[in-house]
Structure 1
Amino acid sequence: MSEPRLVRNPLVAKGSVRSLVDGSRAFHRSMPDYRPTPLTALPAAAARLGVGSVHAKDESRRMGMPSFKILGASWATYRTLLAYLGHTADSGIELADLKTELASRPGLRLVSATDGNHGRAVARMAALLGLSAHILVPEDMVAARIDAIAAEGAKVEVVRGGYDDAIRRSAELADTDSLVVSDTSWEGYVDPPSWVIDGYSTMIGEILDDIDAGTVPRPSVVVAQIGVGAFAAAVARGFRNSAGTRLVGVEPTDADCVTASIEAGGITTIPGPQRSNMAGLNCGTPSVIAWPDVSGGYDTFVTVTDTAAEDAMRLMYADEVVSGESGAAGLAGLLTHARELGLGPDDHILVFSTEGATDTANFNRVTGAALAGE
């Protein structure tokens, strides 16, 4: 495992970052169990870092799912199916009507590769719409996450290798009856991943509403964890015009494909498979569609160890936020690199707890909690 490092971004060009696309918000509001998730103060983290405040967007209970991924997966699934059926994006078709129309196509299925939460969310959408789902996962995925995907009614195929290998397998399955809903892009496949990014704008919009209302301080530092970059791209879009706000991207030390690409000056694939306990971030190649916003929008990139992620999980739990390994990665980046980042008492920090305890046994081991499984 390589040592944690901090890289100042020589490619930063915030004027090039695209605007936030907020078309998904009305759609999400129409879905079962939608409500804005909380922005929770983390006083223990603020004291540890020596900053004015830390707030976490707590995505451990998003529309009945243990992560934010349902936002991107639901919108991308909806848009993919509209396109498949020949409907325009502004057709206004509701989910119930879409399900009725899809009933005449019994062989249709949704396909997705995942390192956990995205695939589960795609499977949930398939179940809501009466479709089957085929989800590809890397061979090192823990049983709890596989079982959670299967519990949504999906067929789960374990692929030898890592996340990138699962992505390649999902692309091989694409045909007229198998629609791939991926959160990463590759040559010739860009629309669904772009819709995933757009879907995350609902969460960013909730945060900006709270900031504008004065219920939380305007952040001087925003920290986002990075897998392929879809979520990080949405964050960059949301804060592109926020003067005085620094954006920091965080990756595991052995799944640092974006940081390595920044250092190389362009998209780079790192050797794999990636084996961090931050399973949602175990990616070897940045998303082509996310890259312009990520490379242009972030001031700094940092990498963190699994040990640091576990430390951050415990610190967040001290403030009653249940955050999984990937969910705590942003705070881990601050704990690891606070001095280099120059954090001080005038800083107000926003982090994203992107998932709850998706591996309950490990969460309990790390934090000493006694949570029941999902």
Structure 2
Amino acid sequence: MTASRPAVEIFANPRADRSAPRPGVLTHEARAEAQAAIRAWPGYAPTPLLDLPGLARRLGVAAVRWKDEGGRFGLGSFKALGGAYAVQRLVREHGGDVTFAAATDGNHGRSVAWGAKQAGARAVIYLHAGVSPGREAALRALGAEIVRVAGNYDDSVRQCARAAAERGWQVVSDTAWEGYREVPTAVMAGYSLIAAEAVAQMGAERPTHVLVQGGVGGVAAAICAELREAWGADAPRFVVVEPALAACLLESARRGGRTEIPIAEETVMAGLSCGDPSPLAWEILDTGADDFAAVDDAWVPPAMRLLADGESGDPRVVAGESGVAGLALLLAARERSETWAALGLDAGSRVLLIGTEGATDPEIYREIVGRGADEVAGTVAR
């Protein structure tokens, strides 16, 4: 933690409205179509929903459940649901003789490259300066061509869009801009399967709180929409969690409208290093999120190690830097009674955490946790 930045910040959304209609652009039909298509893919299986009673006791809450996306289609993260589904739709529309382009912090590009490979198509992936060599290598292993971009994630999005417009490529982005909405809507619709699975897995054991990563907002908006349809005004308290170094959604909520912020320093939560919220996601989160939270990077390593160790007999979980944002927030908030109370957490709380990624960069994971993912889980990746 730094002296100049608080360890954690909570902003209660003054525009939160549980009576507001949901889900905006993510209609029931769009989400149902995506979920049915993905369930039909070879190798599909719901990802585990893990009960972590030891962690719950440590935090002083009634229950902690972990939706573990680390094994999704062997790609290491929830992103497998979005980019590949959008590619599949575009292939149906345009055929396989097309080049797909995407900008990524790592995981989204992996999904697009995988989807393109399944279709026998070309993928060109734009990486900003902060993307690790390990994540680049994973993309190349899927046959992607790599273009490195000076600057941050938002710079890579803009350069990708320009190049695609000039060369007639199909951009597959999880964020939207003027005139470009259909593909990111499909990407977000794919993400909604996470929540649909979780609702079925939880049954009557409904959580009181759901903590979801921010980034450009796509996965948070998709999960918010699905949970609101399932449970309406009785849906759990919905908290969007971002790195303090890239809290564009929190700043948007504070200013009362979608706001782009500069990324002055890269966060260790590489997949969340985004300064420009998706307009489509903001249409949902503007009134759908109950709270926005920003947490300091210093809480990420303890969260990763705690999951890897398995608290008091809990199953050991392989979770990457971006995957532990929600737990990092809980650990930081537990140290400050006023922050804990601001989130409405108490001994009766039942918390659902979305573990969005496994060890998507094995070397970084080893450096932080002190041992490899195979040593933690007994396999190379969960």
* Same-fold call, TM cutoff 0.5: yes
Aligned to 1:56: 66
Q: Which moved more, 1:309-318 or 1:185-194?
A: 309-318
How big is the shift at 1:223? 0.5
Asked whether the equivalents of residues 214 and 240 of structure 2 are also in contact (C-alpha less than 8 Å), the reply is: yes
Aligned to 1:361: 363
Asked whether the equivalents of residues 161 and 273 of structure 1 are also in contact (C-alpha less than 8 Å), the reply is: no
Aligned to 1:347: 349
Alignment match of 2:78 (pick from 60, 68, 81):
68
Aligned to 2:116: 126
Amino acid at match of 1:222: V
How big is the shift at 1:43? 2.4
Q: What is the correspondence of 1:1-374 to structure 2 with a 5 Å cutoff?
A: 2-3=5-6, 4-14=8-18, 15-18=20-23, 20=28, 21-83=31-93, 85=94, 101-102=95-96, 105=97, 108-175=98-165, 177-212=168-203, 214=204, 217-240=205-228, 241=232, 243=234, 245-319=236-310, 320-338=316-334, 339=340, 340-371=342-373
**Secondary structure, counterpart of 2:372 in structure 1:** coil
Q: Give CA-to-partner distance per residue, 1:246-280, whole Å, 9 cap, x none.
A: 11110000100000010111011111255001000
**Secondary structure, counterpart of 2:71 in structure 1:** coil
**Secondary structure, counterpart of 2:137 in structure 1:** helix
Asked whether the equivalents of residues 44 and 318 of structure 1 are also in contact (C-alpha less than 8 Å), the reply is: no
**Secondary structure, counterpart of 1:174 in structure 2:** helix
The alpha-carbon distance between structure 1 residues 273 and 160, as it changes in their structure 2 partners (threshold 3 A), is farther
**Secondary structure, counterpart of 2:280 in structure 1:** coil
Q: Give CA-to-partner distance per residue, 1:192-250, whole Å, 9 cap, x none.
A: 111111111222111111123x4xx2100000010000000011112221516211110
In structure 1, how many angstroms separate the alpha carbons of the residues matched to 2:12 and 2:152?
28
In structure 2, how many angstroms separate the alpha carbons of the residues matched to 1:181 and 1:256?
24
**Secondary structure, counterpart of 1:145 in structure 2:** helix
Asked whether the equivalents of residues 80 and 181 of structure 1 are also in contact (C-alpha less than 8 Å), the reply is: no
The alpha-carbon distance between structure 1 residues 274 and 110, as it changes in their structure 2 partners (threshold 3 A), is farther
In structure 1, how many angstroms separate the alpha carbons of the residues matched to 2:64 and 2:233?
18
- Consecutive unaligned residues of structure 1, counting only runs of 5 or more, are 86-100
Amino acid at match of 1:328: V
Q: What TM-score do the two structures reach when normalised by structure 2?
A: 0.88
The alpha-carbon distance between structure 1 residues 5 and 199, as it changes in their structure 2 partners (threshold 3 A), is same
Asked whether the equivalents of residues 222 and 248 of structure 1 are also in contact (C-alpha less than 8 Å), the reply is: yes
- Consecutive unaligned residues of structure 2, counting only runs of 5 or more, are 311-315, 335-339, 375-379
Asked whether the equivalents of residues 49 and 343 of structure 1 are also in contact (C-alpha less than 8 Å), the reply is: no
In structure 1, how many angstroms separate the alpha carbons of the residues matched to 2:259 and 2:348?
36
In structure 2, how many angstroms separate the alpha carbons of the residues matched to 1:16 and 1:253?
30
Asked whether the equivalents of residues 39 and 56 of structure 1 are also in contact (C-alpha less than 8 Å), the reply is: yes
**Secondary structure, counterpart of 2:54 in structure 1:** helix
Identity rate, percent: 39
Q: Which moved more, 1:244-253 or 1:49-58?
A: 244-253
**Secondary structure, counterpart of 1:344 in structure 2:** coil
In structure 1, how many angstroms separate the alpha carbons of the residues matched to 2:51 and 2:211?
15
Amino acid at match of 1:317: A
In structure 1, how many angstroms separate the alpha carbons of the residues matched to 2:215 and 2:265?
11
In structure 2, how many angstroms separate the alpha carbons of the residues matched to 1:23 and 1:242?
24
How big is the shift at 1:65? 1.1
**Secondary structure, counterpart of 1:290 in structure 2:** helix
How big is the shift at 1:342? 3.3
Return the structure number with greater helix share: 2
Aligned to 2:377: none
Amino acid at match of 2:350: H
Asked whether the equivalents of residues 260 and 277 of structure 2 are also in contact (C-alpha less than 8 Å), the reply is: yes
Amino acid at match of 1:324: G
Aligned to 2:313: none
Q: What TM-score do the two structures reach when normalised by structure 1?
A: 0.90
Amino acid at match of 1:323: A
How big is the shift at 1:306? 1.2
How big is the shift at 1:334? 1.7
**Secondary structure, counterpart of 2:260 in structure 1:** coil
Asked whether the equivalents of residues 227 and 235 of structure 2 are also in contact (C-alpha less than 8 Å), the reply is: no
In structure 2, how many angstroms separate the alpha carbons of the residues matched to 1:272 and 1:206?
34
Q: What's the RMSD between the two structures over aligned residues? A: 1.6
Q: Give CA-to-partner distance per residue, 1:317-342, whole Å, 9 cap, x none.
A: 22311000000001111222242323
Q: Which moved more, 1:177-186 or 1:269-278?
A: 269-278
In structure 1, how many angstroms separate the alpha carbons of the residues matched to 2:182 and 2:87?
11
Amino acid at match of 1:45: L
Amino acid at match of 2:107: N
Aligned to 1:91: none
The alpha-carbon distance between structure 1 residues 44 and 318, as it changes in their structure 2 partners (threshold 3 A), is farther
How big is the shift at 1:294? 1.1
